[in-house]
Chains A and B, each alone.
Chain A
Amino acid sequence: MIENAKQLAEKADGIRKEHAGRSKIGILVSMGTCGIAAGTTPILNAIRDEIKKQGRDGEVEVIETGCMGLCHSEPTVEVFDRESGASVIYGQVTEQQAAAIVESGSKPAAGATALSRGWYYPEDEENKDNALQARIVLRNTGRINPQSLEEYLVQDGYAALAKAVTTMKPQDVIDTIIASGLRGRGGGGFPTGKKWAFAAAQKNDTKYVICNADEGDPGAFMDRAVLEGDPHAVLEAMAIAGYAIGATKGIIYIRAEYPLAIERLNIAIDQARKEGLLGKNIFGAGFDFDLELKYGAGAFVCGEETALIHSIEGMRGEPTFKPPFPAISGLWKKPTIVNNVETYANVCAIIRKGADWFKKIGTAGSPGTKVFALAGKVNKVGLVEVPMGTTLRDIIFGVGEGIKDGRAFKAVQTGGPSGGCLKATELDTAIDYESLKALGSMMGSGGMIVMDEDDCMVNIARFFLEFTLDESCGKCTPCRIGNKRLYEMLQDICEGRGTMETLEKLDTLSRTIKDTALCGLGQTSPNPVLSTMAQFKDEYLQHIQEKKCAAGVCHKLITYTINESCVGCTLCARNCPVDAISGERKGRHVIDQDKCIKCGVCFEACKFHAIDKS
């Protein structure tokens, strides 16, 4: 049991000394969901076997970590030297490389692919190499074993909680968070400290601290990475929030689709309870705090705080009108704060290092960093944590190393189904909450999907509307019926039935829904439509006037024809599901345009590039 702040410091020092004497070389193996799916487990075993075989048990140690964020190169392994501090990261590691990796220590192994790190840790070091990425939220993910409390303690774990409850008044904690300028990382960007202050001001014996881990935004996975890679950081921050607002109970509302994150959270909660870091009289300061997990059952709208609260109460996750805000009347009508995982992951660093330190990173209006899940048609997909104010160009072409297969950049989608698409002329925008909003998109939870010339923007708008339709809870009319109509109009345009009038109606209805829907989901659902209409008007016009889809995505607007390269192999005719292709063996074939359903099977099947798509 750790009974006070002094014992915590002594324990952490003890572990540091013990670690230093334990092994010279550490091998970190990324065991997040993506890493495991990419096949890290056999590599982990191969490295362990190899250490035994080379007789280096006492010298080399294997540490299973969360995700390093280098999804493009999974499986990844990092080797570091405790004495010199040197390290090397390998990507696309195979079992065969294990021997060389173990043998080489912190020097690059022959035959393995070494990667550059590309980030620095603002809390631990200067940015010597002008790295684009700064890791505050992801400070420990990929660096420590998430299933070991000891390793978390070495990284100053629970020092922030100790500092808060033993040296600060609850109001000081709130003042620090307000001064830091930390804003909600779940999407809205509401100042976190203010939210806490509202709840703290309520006179009530029972209050709740909730962590929204129902990451439902398609294309965002940073919360999963934090929960899998650094679960204690979230627990510690929630306890700090509890102390600040006067709550003794915390609830983590987590997606049931994240089994590994749930498992690691449960382990972390058990460990913290055993050491007295959760429970009664934490650090002897008379502060009690404990927490439990609640599982989401798959509903995007539950990311909205009032809907999330109803879901915890065992009901349909339908939002209710605000005010009253949850900080006044939330779970079981008690004052409640709801913050998302990434927001909490900033709190401990702010308490440890102070608001001024935090404000040095990022922009004046949006201090700190933001984690983006960079995905889509970009070379280096993965998790990217950059200071606010970094340009899209630096993220996509710097960290992401440009567009896949040398194709042309077309758009980047931020903010998920509530966000919008930005085009090439906006690549130099320094991104923060305000700049993205001004461009008709939003920060959202940090999904960043890159699209190239093969993506049709009308189809993308329709794709998001389809998602909204599925996820609309149906409580308010603008969202339930309005979005359905929007979807139908987009469907019309994609299938060649659109007119200029459709376009006009699309615009009017989008604005009406924005103004009248009940919750955040409905109010932002037309954003993908409005932003693509503003940025890619020509594409809409091409679909309507020329009945063409230049990207070749909208099936109904494509015509397949067979050109002179056809050798008459009959493969296309045999594969056509509707017998629309005819021709003699060894003679040029023809597609009957009246019969053709534009499925594209012939195009995929042809080995002679004899089928044109236009």
Chain B
Amino acid sequence: MVQAAMEKTKNMLERFAEVDKILERNGKNKAKLIRILQEVQEEYKYLPEDIMAYVANSLGLAPAKVFGVATFYAHFALSPKGKHVFRVCDGTACHVKGSQKIIDALRSELKLEDGQTTSDDMVFTVETVSCLGACGLAPVLVIDEDVHGQVTADKAMELVRALREQEKA
């Protein structure tokens, strides 16, 4: 029992050590809360609740305040994302050029239920974004960091399948 608790505390301290580095880098400055959360998210891929509470404590803010900021901005994810993130642009230009068909196709291919964004195996996440500012290439799909222009539902399927093969190999 005691050992298990010790182990848990040790893990927690190790987790927070990374956060401490981020806090130090930003001078524990409340005004840099958004930057701090962005860096935390880069580290963990999302914002774990215990870490948000830890950040709040360290900055002398109420956890509700930090949570409020985290939920306000589209960038912050409160749950883990899949290994590969598909961001379908649904800005006006992409919308009139058929982005909805791409979203529907991806969601059905990955068997995502209503409201679900990440596949059960945690490999794929499908999100929409308002505008990536690449309207000349509409409709646009960004997979991780790669921008694909003039995408069709079929092409999106091909890209999913190619990634699946890659994952298997």
- Chain A interface (Cβ within 8 Å of chain B)? 33-34, 36-38, 71-72, 74, 215-221, 224, 256-258, 294-300, 311-318, 373, 375-377, 381-382, 413, 416, 447, 449, 451, 455, 460, 463-464, 467, 470-471, 473, 577, 599
Contacts of B95 in A (CB 8 A): 218, 463
Closest 10 CB pairs of A and B: A71-B136, A298-B74, A218-B91, A297-B73, A221-B133, A375-B93, A218-B131, A37-B147, A375-B135, A314-B33
Q: Are B133 and A376 in contact (CB under 8 A)?
A: no
Q: Are B31 and A313 in contact (CB under 8 A)?
A: yes
**Interface residue from B69, B74, B93, B147 paired with A219 (Cβ < 8 Å):** B93
Report the separation of the CA atoms of residues A416 and B148 in the bound assembly, to the nearest whole angstrom. Answer: 23
* Bitwise interface map of B from 59 to 74 toward A, beta carbon under 8 Å scored 1, else 0: 0000000001100111
Q: Are A33 and B34 in contact (CB under 8 A)?
A: no
Who on chain B is nearest to A297 by CB? B73
Q: Are B73 and A298 in contact (CB under 8 A)?
A: yes
**Interface residue from A37, A217, A299, A455 paired with B96 (Cβ < 8 Å):** A455
Known: A74-B136, A377-B97. 12 other contacts (CB 8 A): A34-B136, A34-B149, A217-B131, A294-B35, A297-B76, A298-B75, A314-B29, A316-B69, A373-B135, A381-B136, A451-B96, A463-B92
Report the separation of the CA atoms of residues A451 and B92 in the bound assembly, to the nearest whole angstrom. Answer: 10
Contacts of B32 in A (CB 8 A): 314
Q: Are A314 and B34 in contact (CB under 8 A)?
A: yes
Asked if B17 lies at the interface with its beta carbon under 8 angstroms from chain A, I say: no
Contacts of A224 in B (CB 8 A): 133
Contacts of A449 in B (CB 8 A): 92-93, 96
Q: Are B131 and A220 in contact (CB under 8 A)?
A: yes
Asked if B130 lies at the interface with its beta carbon under 8 angstroms from chain A, I say: yes
B33 CB, min distance to chain A CBs, angstroms: 4
Report the separation of the CA atoms of residues A382 and B34 in the bound assembly, to the nearest whole angstrom. Answer: 33
Contacts of B74 in A (CB 8 A): 297-299
Specify which of B32, B73, B75, B136 lies most central, judged by the most chain A CB atoms within 10 Å of its CB. Answer: B136
Q: Are B136 and A311 in contact (CB under 8 A)?
A: no
| Contacts known (A38-B137, A297-B34); A314 close to B69, Cβ less than 8 A | yes
| Contacts known (A298-B75, A314-B30, A376-B97); A413 close to B92, Cβ less than 8 A | yes
Q: Are A37 and B134 in contact (CB under 8 A)?
A: yes
**Interface residue from A37, A376, A451, A463 paired with B149 (Cβ < 8 Å):** A37
* Bitwise interface map of B from 29 to 67 toward A, beta carbon under 8 Å scored 1, else 0: 111111101100000000000000000000000000000
- Chain B interface (Cβ within 8 Å of chain A)? 29-35, 37-38, 68-69, 72-76, 90-93, 95-97, 104, 108, 129-138, 140, 147-149
Who on chain B is nearest to A37 by CB? B147
Contacts of A315 in B (CB 8 A): 33, 69
**Interface residue from B38, B68, B138 paired with A256 (Cβ < 8 Å):** B38
| Contacts known (A311-B34, A473-B72); A216 close to B130, Cβ less than 8 A | yes
B72 CB, min distance to chain A CBs, angstroms: 4
Q: Are B91 and A219 in contact (CB under 8 A)?
A: yes
Contacts of A219 in B (CB 8 A): 91-93, 131, 135
Contacts of A220 in B (CB 8 A): 131, 133, 135
A257 CB, min distance to chain B CBs, angstroms: 6
Count CB-based A-B contacts (< 8 Å): 128
Specify which of B68, B133, B137 lies most central, judged by the most chain A CB atoms within 10 Å of its CB. Answer: B133
Who on chain B is nearest to A459 by CB? B95
Who on chain B is nearest to A33 by CB? B134
Q: Are A381 and B34 in contact (CB under 8 A)?
A: no
Q: Are A218 and B130 in contact (CB under 8 A)?
A: yes
Q: Are A256 and B133 in contact (CB under 8 A)?
A: no
B114 CB, min distance to chain A CBs, angstroms: 14
Who on chain B is nearest to A223 by CB? B133
Contacts of A599 in B (CB 8 A): 104
Q: Are A416 and B38 in contact (CB under 8 A)?
A: no
The 16 listed contacts between A and B (C-beta, < 8 Å) are A33-B147, A36-B147, A71-B136, A74-B136, A217-B131, A297-B34, A297-B37, A298-B74, A300-B130, A316-B68, A316-B72, A375-B136, A376-B96, A447-B135, A463-B95, A467-B130
Contacts of A295 in B (CB 8 A): 34-35, 38
Report the separation of the CA atoms of residues A221 and B93 in the bound assembly, to the nearest whole angstrom. Answer: 11
Report the separation of the CA atoms of residues A449 and B139 in the bound assembly, to the nearest whole angstrom. Answer: 13
Who on chain A is nearest to B89 by CB? A218
Q: Are B38 and A297 in contact (CB under 8 A)?
A: yes
B93 CB, min distance to chain A CBs, angstroms: 4
A71 CB, min distance to chain B CBs, angstroms: 2
Who on chain A is nearest to B71 by CB? A316
Q: Are A256 and B75 in contact (CB under 8 A)?
A: yes
Contacts of A258 in B (CB 8 A): 133
A298 CB, min distance to chain B CBs, angstroms: 3
Contacts of A296 in B (CB 8 A): 73
Q: Are A470 and B135 in contact (CB under 8 A)?
A: no
Q: Are B135 and A416 in contact (CB under 8 A)?
A: no
Report the separation of the CA atoms of residues A377 and B72 in the bound assembly, to the nearest whole angstrom. Answer: 34
Contacts of B132 in A (CB 8 A): 257
Q: Are A382 and B136 in contact (CB under 8 A)?
A: yes
Q: Are A37 and B137 in contact (CB under 8 A)?
A: yes
Q: Are B73 and A317 in contact (CB under 8 A)?
A: yes
Report the separation of the CA atoms of residues A463 and B136 in the bound assembly, to the nearest whole angstrom. Answer: 20
Contacts of B133 in A (CB 8 A): 33, 215, 220-221, 224, 257-258
Who on chain A is nearest to B73 by CB? A297
Who on chain B is nearest to A555 by CB? B100
Who on chain B is nearest to A74 by CB? B136
B27 CB, min distance to chain A CBs, angstroms: 12
Report the separation of the CA atoms of residues A416 and B95 in the bound assembly, to the nearest whole angstrom. Answer: 13
A413 CB, min distance to chain B CBs, angstroms: 7
Contacts of B92 in A (CB 8 A): 218-219, 375-376, 413, 416, 447, 449, 463-464
Report the separation of the CA atoms of residues A315 and B131 in the bound assembly, to the nearest whole angstrom. Answer: 23
A422 CB, min distance to chain B CBs, angstroms: 14
Report the separation of the CA atoms of residues A487 and B140 in the bound assembly, to the nearest whole angstrom. Answer: 25
Q: Are B148 and A37 in contact (CB under 8 A)?
A: yes
A448 CB, min distance to chain B CBs, angstroms: 10
A539 CB, min distance to chain B CBs, angstroms: 15
Who on chain B is nearest to A417 by CB? B92
A309 CB, min distance to chain B CBs, angstroms: 11
Specify which of B68, B90, B93, B134 lies most central, judged by the most chain A CB atoms within 10 Å of its CB. Answer: B93
Report the separation of the CA atoms of residues A464 and B33 in the bound assembly, to the nearest whole angstrom. Answer: 31
Who on chain B is nearest to A301 by CB? B72
A318 CB, min distance to chain B CBs, angstroms: 8
Who on chain A is nearest to B131 by CB? A218
Q: Are B135 and A71 in contact (CB under 8 A)?
A: yes
Who on chain B is nearest to A471 by CB? B130
Report the separation of the CA atoms of residues A455 and B134 in the bound assembly, to the nearest whole angstrom. Answer: 21
Contacts of A473 in B (CB 8 A): 72
Report the separation of the CA atoms of residues A53 and B29 in the bound assembly, to the nearest whole angstrom. Answer: 55
Report the separation of the CA atoms of residues A33 and B133 in the bound assembly, to the nearest whole angstrom. Answer: 9
Contacts of A416 in B (CB 8 A): 92
Contacts of B37 in A (CB 8 A): 297
**Interface residue from B76, B130, B138 paired with A375 (Cβ < 8 Å):** B138
Contacts of B91 in A (CB 8 A): 218-219
Report the separation of the CA atoms of residues A470 and B73 in the bound assembly, to the nearest whole angstrom. Answer: 11
Contacts of B69 in A (CB 8 A): 314-316
